[in-house]
Amino acid sequence: MTIRSLISATCAALAIASAMPAAAHDPGDVVTPHFERAIPNIPGKTLTALIVDYPPGGTSAPHRHADSSFIFAYVLSGEIESKVNDGPTQIYRAGESWYEP
């Protein structure tokens, strides 16, 4: 994921996985766990919410999530540029969201 023209963008990512996503973050990124709860009807799975603050121009290195995960992101402020695999680059602004199955 690459960040473009950012003034303190915050992205909340929800991941349904048994482990935290294997994302490589730059030193300037601030990743804050928001909550983690077991999913009662799916044994061994959890719902995890993270708040990710990127500095202006910050980036996340290309990374993968567990095959069993479902990623949902919501932009609180600023904008974020996202690209998944060979798909098109998308720009999301404050108030917009997306998911990665």
pLDDT in tens, 74-88: 999 999 999 888 999
d(CA 62, CA 79): 18
Residue 21, number of CB atoms within 10 A of its CB = 16
d(CA 92, CA 75): 7
Q: What mean pLDDT is reported for the chain?
A: 77
pTM of the full structure: 0.67
Residues of the chain with pLDDT under 70: 1-25
pLDDT at position 70: 85
- How is residue 81 written in tokens? 């540029």
d(CA 8, CA 55): 6
pLDDT at position 48: 92
